[in-house]
């Protein structure tokens, strides 16, 4: 399959952002390969939804792909003749079109600069170090490159051949009928919110029950949010402290009044990676087990009008939130039966017409074969608690001159904690592009095999 200066595994946001930075910034011709499970133009689970009602959870003005141009997406939207305000939460489907336009632009620039840009659809199963180059193994073939970037993103919690629908965004909600009376959602995060809105949009009148350990839905963004109200939190109260001390400081700050909690939570964001790095292993595990849901529902919020509709469904009794973990599901003559684990013990509930898996991202390395394989070979170091892999400050995970491997996004959860949304990913993509280009690889390009 030839030899490349750089090969990027994953064609979602992180892969596209890495390509776009490299193609824009390089002054030399290069050979770039992308290896992705999906065909070119399918941008991971977040931006593959075909549905207009599935919205971005970040305002348009902060969704730009380039770290030096946060408004780039918003400017693209207005250039399309679409009327939108900077604070709008726009359809994720529209964001996919934006990513496509970036990719098309990168392809045109690549042509002008004499850059080869090849896309391979397939699963990267393993990576081997051949001293002069790294070889990505995919379907019995090898894609060889001096530098590899892992942009493999979110492994979603997988199903188990149960009747639960695993890719809920792809469901055709028009097929719901009045004869169907009960729907179960497993999980209560942003995916559950997507599905609740899609169901409500059809006018379906049955009962939706949402099961999760905390039964906590995301909180709403503040209408009229003013970014200037964020504050500089004193780093010494948060970094290199025990988790209990950090939680006390946070509660104190929120209670001290003067501004809504939204601003305090967002003010913590510049510190979260350093806080996480400075926690000991026990506190990290405690944070994930005890506070991660709490953090997520406050940090990853949805648009105010989505919150209003969901609140109304709860008030009317159409939507029920239940604290219980669904452990299995099976078809029975009266519909789908769920086995649940509640505080009181195990129980079963019967008679669901449909059940959707809305459990989100699985950060455990054990469920990502590529990471398991490269860790076993010593090409990456596992992060504490088995949450992915470690990286240096410029996202390097492996170096054995001349070969290098970088990673960004979800595989670095254990190393960075805050590493899954566009504001973090665009910065990481730029760091990788800069580190790679600094190494002036074009001069070293040569054909192998």
Ligand X SMILES: Cc1cc2nc3c(=O)[nH]c(=O)nc-3n(C[C@H](O)[C@H](O)[C@H](O)COP(=O)(O)OP(=O)(O)OC[C@H]3O[C@@H](n4cnc5c(N)ncnc54)[C@H](O)[C@@H]3O)c2cc1C
Residues near ligand X (CB under 6 A) are 9-15, 35-38, 44-47, 56-58, 123-124, 151-154, 190-191, 370, 409-410, 420-422, 425
Nearest approach, Cβ of residue 58 and ligand X (Å): 4
243-255 and 261-278 helices, crossing angle to 10°: 160
The smaller minimum CB distance to ligand X, of residues 167 and 394, is found at: 167
The smaller minimum CB distance to ligand X, of residues 336 and 397, is found at: 397
The smaller minimum CB distance to ligand X, of residues 35 and 336, is found at: 35
**Hunting for tokens 């009962």 — which residue is that?**
207
Nearest approach, Cβ of residue 34 and ligand X (Å): 9
Q: What are the start-end ranges of the E strands in 252-344?
A: 319-323, 325-332, 335-342
The smaller minimum CB distance to ligand X, of residues 164 and 421, is found at: 421
Nearest approach, Cβ of residue 356 and ligand X (Å): 13
Nearest approach, Cβ of residue 292 and ligand X (Å): 15
Element at 148 (helix H, strand E): strand 141-150
The DSSP symbol for 446 reads -
Written as six digits, the tokens of 355 are 């059940």
Q: Rounded to an integer, what distance in angstroms lies between the CA atom of residue 422 and that of residue 426?
A: 6
Q: Rounded to an integer, what distance in angstroms lies between the CA atom of residue 277 and that of residue 274?
A: 5
The smaller minimum CB distance to ligand X, of residues 6 and 124, is found at: 124
Q: Rounded to an integer, what distance in angstroms lies between the CA atom of residue 206 and that of residue 178?
A: 7
The smaller minimum CB distance to ligand X, of residues 1 and 239, is found at: 1
The smaller minimum CB distance to ligand X, of residues 40 and 181, is found at: 40
The smaller minimum CB distance to ligand X, of residues 268 and 422, is found at: 422
Q: Rounded to an integer, what distance in angstroms lies between the CA atom of residue 24 and that of residue 185?
A: 43
Give Cα 43 distance to the centre of its chain: 11
The smaller minimum CB distance to ligand X, of residues 352 and 413, is found at: 413
Cβ atoms of 166 and 155 within 8 Å: the answer is: no
**Hunting for tokens 């004499």 — which residue is that?**
114
Q: Rounded to an integer, what distance in angstroms lies between the CA atom of residue 321 and that of residue 193?
A: 12
Q: Rounded to an integer, what distance in angstroms lies between the CA atom of residue 218 and that of residue 55?
A: 14
Nearest approach, Cβ of residue 336 and ligand X (Å): 23
Q: Rounded to an integer, what distance in angstroms lies between the CA atom of residue 102 and that of residue 110?
A: 12
72-79 and 92-113 helices, crossing angle to 10°: 100
Q: What are the start-end ranges of the E strands in 240-391?
A: 319-323, 325-332, 335-342, 345-352, 354-357
Written as six digits, the tokens of 292 are 């991660």
Handedness of CA 103, 106, 111, 115 (dihedral sign): negative
Nearest approach, Cβ of residue 326 and ligand X (Å): 19
Written as six digits, the tokens of 104 are 């098309």
Phi-psi region at 439: left, alpha or beta (left = phi > 0; alpha = psi -120 to 50): alpha
Nearest approach, Cβ of residue 225 and ligand X (Å): 15
Nearest approach, Cβ of residue 172 and ligand X (Å): 18
The smaller minimum CB distance to ligand X, of residues 241 and 428, is found at: 428
CB count within 10 Å of CB 256 equals 9
Nearest approach, Cβ of residue 257 and ligand X (Å): 30
The smaller minimum CB distance to ligand X, of residues 187 and 409, is found at: 409
Nearest approach, Cβ of residue 407 and ligand X (Å): 10
Nearest approach, Cβ of residue 391 and ligand X (Å): 14
**Hunting for tokens 């010494």 — which residue is that?**
236
């Amino acid at each position: 399959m030839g030899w490349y200066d750089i090969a990027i595994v994953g064609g979602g946001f992180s892969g596209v952002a890495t390509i776009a930075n490299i193609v824009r910034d390089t002054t030399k011709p290069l050979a770039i390969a992308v290896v992705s499970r999906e065909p070119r133009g399918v941008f991971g689970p977040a931006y593959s939804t075909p549905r207009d009602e599935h919205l971005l959870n970040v305002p348009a003005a902060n969704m730009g792909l380039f770290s030096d141009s946060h408004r780039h997406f918003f400017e693209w939207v207005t250039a399309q003749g679409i009327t939108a305000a900077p604070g709008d939460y726009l359809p994720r489907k529209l964001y996919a079109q934006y990513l496509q336009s970036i990719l098309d632009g990168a392809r045109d620039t690549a042509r002008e600069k004499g850059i080869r840009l090849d896309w391979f659809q397939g699963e990267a199963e393993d990576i081997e170090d051949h001293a002069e180059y790294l070889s990505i193994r995919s379907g019995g073939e090898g894609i060889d490159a001096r530098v590899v970037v892992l942009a493999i993103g979110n492994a979603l919690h997988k199903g188990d051949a149960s009747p639960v629908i695993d890719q809920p965004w792809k469901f055709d909600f028009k097929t719901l009928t009045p004869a169907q009376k009960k729907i179960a959602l497993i999980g209560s995060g942003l995916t559950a919110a997507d599905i609740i809105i899609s169901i409500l949009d059809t006018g379906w009148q049955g009962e939706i029950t949402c099961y999760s350990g905390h039964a906590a839905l995301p909180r709403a963004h503040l209408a009229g949010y003013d970014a200037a109200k964020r504050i500089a939190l004193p780093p010494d109260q948060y970094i290199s402290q025990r988790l209990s001390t950090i939680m006390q400081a946070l509660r104190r700050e929120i209670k001290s009044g003067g501004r809504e909690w939204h601003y305090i939570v967002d003010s913590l964001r510049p510190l979260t990676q350093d806080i996480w790095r400075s926690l000991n292993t026990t506190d990290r595990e405690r944070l994930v087990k005890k506070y991660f849901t709490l953090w997520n529902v406050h940090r990853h919020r949805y648009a105010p009008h989505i919150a209003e509709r969901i609140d109304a469904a709860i008030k009317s009794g159409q939507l029920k939130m239940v604290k219980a973990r669904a452990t299995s599901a099976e078809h029975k003559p009266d519909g789908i039966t769920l086995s649940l684990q509640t505080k009181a013990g195990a129980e079963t509930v019967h008679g669901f017409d449909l059940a959707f898996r809305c459990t989100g991202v699985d950060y455990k390395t054990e469920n990502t074969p590529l990471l398991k394989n490269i860790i076993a070979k010593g090409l990456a170091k596992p992060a504490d608690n088995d949450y992915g892999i470690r990286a240096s400050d410029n996202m390097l995970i492996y170096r054995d001159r001349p070969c290098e491997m970088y990673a960004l996004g979800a595989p670095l959860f254990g190393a960075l904690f805050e590493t899954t949304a566009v504001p973090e990913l665009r910065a990481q993509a730029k760091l990788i592009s800069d580190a790679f280009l600094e190494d002036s690889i074009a001069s070293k390009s040569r054909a192998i095999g």
